[in-house]
Structure 1
Amino acid sequence: MEEAESPEELLAKQHRKEKKDLQAKIQSMKNAVPKNDKKRRKQLTEDIAKLEAELNQKHEEELRQLSSNTVTAEVEEVVNGIESVGLDNEEQKDSKESRTSKAQKRRDKKAAMEREREARIAEAEVENLQGSRHQEGLRLRQKLAERQLQIREIQSDGHCMYRAIGDQLAGRGQAVGLSELRAQTADYMRGHADDFLPFLTNPNTGDMFTADEFEKYCSDVESTAAWGGQLELRALTEALKLPIEIVQADAPVITIGEEYKKPPVVLVYMRHAYGLGEHYNSVEPLAEVANEEEG
């Protein structure tokens, strides 16, 4: 007799079918819009991103509900199974009626522990899907898709902001290295100390930086992996004479250097990207858009 499928297996099968159906629908939508109709293709990209985000959220909610309903029951079943194994061992000492072998009892106990492990894994997966990093990524992908962009990953090593800007400049045919970007940032700050000193204070005293402390700060910007933030972005936009846009998941786009009437450098700011927290990524055209342009 065929074993009945578990609720998790049934839900996974349903999700696979819904994803397959969505992909078929998306393909049909793509086929209905001429490739040379840029306005409708842009709207199509936004509609597809919205449909995919909605389906992901639906699946996450269903997983969360299933987990909350089953994890407790699974753990209780495991505990009861372990206790029953223990009782069986005691009863075997007092009665010869139990015919279950020791090997079978070990297999039963092992199976119970495996069920507990799987239940905990399922719970952890649901928590990850509901986690801030995953949710931030979903919102960012949808925002960027509306602009026909996607995230271009930049390594997380303390230089991410400078590397992301360098990546954007390289896309314009401007090869500016990491060291040069840091040097330009530090030099501009040194030359315009009055614009930056009011925002820099000693963490121990709360007093504004002294001249020596400010020079130490600029030296770190230039020569170490010190993380870059708003002050360094302001210095770079002035040094490069380019506007810089910062796209965030839960806030409006921030533009620094709007006075420079040139196409902006676009960065993605992520609060929950890695274990250490904040991170900058670059952007690139959506794969589909890039392929069409190459065609």
Structure 2
Amino acid sequence: MADYIEENNEVEMLENKHKKEKKELQAHIQALKKVAKNDKTKKKELTAEIVRLELELEDRQKKEIEEVSKELSIENGFEQTDENEEIKVKLSKAQKRRVKKEQQEREREQEIKLQEKENINGPRNLENQAICNRLKEMNLKVYPISSDGDCLYKAVSHQLLVKRKQSLSVEELRKQTSNYIRENKEDFMPFLSHPETCDMLTDGEFEEYCEKIVNSKVWGGQIEIRALSNNLKCPISIIQATGPSSIEQGEEFEGPSLVITYHRHMYRLGAHYNSTLVIADEEHIEN
């Protein structure tokens, strides 16, 4: 009897943990929805990202349930010998519901795998192919940058090291970018607007914008590229798949151009920047 109570307590603790994780995920999803509130493109991408996050959580929780069930079966003298053999442990109603849900999840995962095969000719792969073809003409290749909000600054930092033997961290680049925009407020204010009202930023909102560049992982765009180029006094070339093959910033400056790539479909929640390497030199640069 004591063993049965202990087993139920272990299952109950796991179920409570899973409930908490699901609540935390829902809170995170609501935060993401607020970010993409007025952007139709991001809303579509957000739907796919939400599915991915939910699948990851469900898959991890499923594995935890299977592990606990396996441990309980061994403790009760019933070792599972076949993947499809029923575990001879008294299951609660909640566990039975989870077993049924696991089967549905496996079927759903199979559908996703089939969809991924169909996406070979999707926008992400087509975009990557176009960018790689354009880089190849320049004897360049994509150097992957992690997607965490710092991608622009990491790409520029990598290019500074490769092209100019100059070492500047993401934190330093963010600080310099923020200071440059703040010091040249009249040049940048006309191009900044509130994401919801589309009105020009107030002085307070402008200061908040500059602060976020330094104190958060807010994504960098054309405004930040312009500030980086002007502050570093070097040209920056942005290679993309659609539209002009490259967008040039800071052409008035001398020296080799920092070449980065702009991907609209690399990740589900928005655009992404990568760096580049000369093809022949790629193996000699440490990640």
TM class by shorter chain equals: 0.5 to 0.7
Q: Secondary structure of 2:200's match?
A: coil
Name the counterpart of 1:264: 257
Structure ID, larger Rg = 1
- Does structure 1 residue 155 correspond to structure 2 residue 146? yes
List per-residue Cα deviations over 1:7-56 (Å, max 9, x = no partner): xxxxxxxxxxxxxxxxxxxxxxxxxxxxxxxxxxxxxxxxxxxxxxxxxx
Deviation at 1:126, TM superposition (A): 4.0
Q: Secondary structure of 1:174's match?
A: coil
Output the aligned Cα RMSD: 2.5
Name the counterpart of 1:255: 248
Deviation at 1:200, TM superposition (A): 1.4
Sequence identity (%):
45
Deviation at 1:205, TM superposition (A): 3.6
- Does structure 1 residue 195 correspond to structure 2 residue 187? yes
- Does structure 1 residue 176 correspond to structure 2 residue 168? yes
Name the counterpart of 2:21: none
CA distance in 2, matches of 1:209, 1:183: 20
Q: Secondary structure of 1:272's match?
A: strand
Name the counterpart of 1:143: 134
CA distance in 1, matches of 2:136, 2:199: 44
Name the counterpart of 1:242: 234
Equivalent residues, number: 177
- Counting only pairs closer than 5 Å after superposition, residues 104-119 of structure 1 correspond to structure 2 as none
- Does structure 1 residue 284 correspond to structure 2 residue 277? yes
Amino acid at match of 2:139: Q
List per-residue Cα deviations over 1:161-203 (Å, max 9, x = no partner): 0000000111121010111100110000011001111111223
CA distance in 2, matches of 1:134, 1:186: 34
Runs of at least 5 residues in structure 2 that lack an aligned partner in the other structure: 1-106
CA distance in 2, matches of 1:146, 1:290: 16
CA distance in 2, matches of 1:201, 1:218: 13
CA distance in 1, matches of 2:226, 2:112: 45
Of 266, 275, 281, which residue of structure 2 is paired with 1:273? 266
List per-residue Cα deviations over 1:190-246 (Å, max 9, x = no partner): 110011111112234432111111000000011110100000011110100001000
Amino acid at match of 2:264: R
CA distance in 1, matches of 2:200, 2:109: 55
Amino acid at match of 1:216: E
Q: Secondary structure of 2:220's match?
A: coil
Deviation at 1:153, TM superposition (A): 0.3
CA distance in 2, matches of 1:218, 1:147: 35
Name the counterpart of 1:46: none
Mean Cα deviation higher: 257-266 or 198-207: 198-207
Deviation at 1:118, TM superposition (A): 12
Q: Secondary structure of 2:209's match?
A: helix
CA distance in 1, matches of 2:150, 2:222: 14
Amino acid at match of 2:268: G
- Counting only pairs closer than 5 Å after superposition, residues 1-295 of structure 1 correspond to structure 2 as 123-171=114-162, 172-252=164-244, 253-286=246-279, 289-290=280-281
TM-score, scaled relative to structure 2: 0.57
Deviation at 1:121, TM superposition (A): 7.1
Q: Secondary structure of 2:254's match?
A: coil
CA distance in 2, matches of 1:208, 1:259: 29
Amino acid at match of 1:165: V
CA distance in 2, matches of 1:240, 1:251: 26
Deviation at 1:274, TM superposition (A): 1.1
| C-alpha distance 204-275 of structure 1, shift in aligned 2 (>3 A) | closer
CA distance in 2, matches of 1:223, 1:122: 39
